[in-house]
Amino acid sequence: MRKAIFGIIACGILLFFSFISLGIWLVLFAPDLNSTEYYIDDKNYDSFECKVSSFNVYDDVICFELEHSQDNYYETFKICGKNFDLAIKNGLSEILRENVVFTISSANAYRGDGWSYPVVALKYNNGDIIPFAEGKQNYVEYQQQAENRAERYLLIAGGVFAFLIIAEICLIILCIKSGKTHKA
């Protein structure tokens, strides 16, 4: 009987921590599953001039700190996915440095994409480094892929969580039945 009660308590603790872990993961790392709809709409984008304060280039992402006059944007922006490839192909690596001034287009909500606003269009001296139509389409595809990955992770995590709930219920039933047979 004690082993069964210990098993129920252990599974309950495991279930609790699994639930907490899933919740923390969802809050911190999961993309918004409805972000593609937002990024498809042209009305959600603004174009404005900005000056590069600092930047970091990673394998396939450029992260910027940009100075600008927009009240509804913070300073952190990024170029990623196919837009990264397009920007490099169109000469961004030769132009990019601190204090350079660009005109960008971005949407003023970061939806589960790393707390940075996406740059979907980039102009320098009136020349397109990332044209808006192509850049927006590339970013929408990037978000769709992120949503697909998030859905798979949610299905896996949900399946594990459901399995743990079923195991906990089964252990409780076994414990109850075990307790009744020992009383008789």
Can you give the pLDDT at residue 157?
72
Asked if residue 50 and residue 40 are part of one domain, the reply reads: yes
Asked if residue 170 and residue 90 are part of one domain, the reply reads: no
Can you give the pLDDT at residue 101?
97
Asked if residue 48 and residue 12 are part of one domain, the reply reads: no
Asked if residue 17 and residue 105 are part of one domain, the reply reads: no
Can you give the pLDDT at residue 147?
79
What is the β-pairing status of strands 101-107 and 76-80? unpaired
Asked if residue 93 and residue 68 are part of one domain, the reply reads: yes
Domain count, the chain: 2
What is the span of the domain harbouring residue 88? 35-146
147-166 burial: b if 16+ Cβ within 10 Å, else e: beebeebeeebeeeeeebee
Listed as ranges, residues in the chain with pLDDT below 70 are 1, 3-4, 7, 11, 25-34, 110-114, 179-184
Positive or negative torsion for Cα 156, 162, 168, 170: negative
Beta carbons of 67 and 130 less than 8 angstroms apart: no
Asked if residue 161 and residue 119 are part of one domain, the reply reads: no
**Residue ranges in the chain assigned as alpha helix (H):** 2-29, 35-40, 82-89, 92-95, 132-183
Asked if residue 176 and residue 110 are part of one domain, the reply reads: no
Asked if residue 141 and residue 56 are part of one domain, the reply reads: yes
Asked if residue 51 and residue 123 are part of one domain, the reply reads: yes
